[in-house]
Amino acid sequence: MECGKKTVPLREELWTASGDQAGLIGSGCTLCGEIFFPKKKSAFCPHCQHEGLQDATLGSRGRITTFTMVHQQPAGGFYKGPVPYAYGVVQLPDGVNVETLFTGCRPDEIRTGLEARLAIEKLYEEDDGTEVLTYKFVPTV
């Protein structure tokens, strides 16, 4: 992130803080213990149907369970980041899987089982130069 650039998050309440302190925000059920990411606006738990979901800050390190390298532009014009890109699933020790983009390493270095840490990074830049930030994971290669 260049100094002085205007930044906006892709969506509010996906993560808290920044830098090393950053953590994803999920929802945890006070009855069954299930955890969801992203957080749910409603308190209703779709696992046990109890109305007891509360915000939970999730750990910032996990393990890669699966990944792929996408070589084509996704349909619909929703995705404005670079192509190709790597994405996959990271399992956090809190007991939740998170679908995520990967960054910070060569695509051929990504492996299942690798540890990965959370990073808040640019997804794309708006026409006026504003950087749109999102969460990604950096595989520890």
Partner 1 sequence: MKPPGETREVVVAGIGATRWGYYPDRESYELAAEAIIDALKDAEMEWREVETAFCGSVYQGTGSGHQAVREVGLTGIPVVNVENACSSGSSAFRLAYQAVASGLHDVALAVGFEKMPKGPIPSTAFRPTELQMGFNVQPANYALETLLYMEKYGATEEDFSLITVKNRKNGALNPHARFQKPVTLEEVMNSRAVAGPLRLLHCCPLADGAAGFILCTRKKLRSKSRAVTVAASVLTSGVYGEAVYQCGMVDSVKFPPAEGMVEMSARKAYQFAGCGPEDMDVIQVYDSMAPGELWDIEKLGFCKEGEAPRLLREGVFDINGKIPANTDGGLISRGHPLGATGCGQIYEVVLQLRGEAGPRQAKEAKTGLCHTMGAGPNSSIIILKK
| Contact footprint for partner 1 (CB under 8 A) | 10-11, 14, 32-35, 38, 46-47, 65-76, 78-81, 85, 87-89, 91, 95-101, 112, 123, 134
The nearer residue to partner 1, 3 or 60, going by C-beta atoms, is 60
Give the pair of three-digit tokens for residue 120.
């808040």
Shortest distance, position 3 Cβ to partner 1, whole Å: 25
**Cβ closer to partner 1: 4 or 42?**
42
Q: How far is the CB of 56 from partner 1 (least distance, A)?
A: 13
Pick the closer one to partner 1 by CB: 4 or 76. 76
Q: Pull the structure tokens for residue 118.
A: 């959370």
What is the smallest separation between the CB atom of 50 and partner 1, expressed in angstroms?
Answer: 13
Cα separations (Å) of 40 from 13, 28, 36, 52?
10, 9, 7, 11
- For the beta carbon of residue 25, count every other beta carbon within 10 angstroms: 17
Bridge pairing between strands 115-125 and 96-102: unpaired
Min dist CB 1 to partner 1, Å, is 18
8-state DSSP, 109: G
**Helices (DSSP H) in the chain: which residue ranges?**
none
Angle of CA points 101, 22, 42, to nearest 5°: 80
Between residues 54 and 68, which has the closer beta carbon with respect to partner 1? Answer: 68
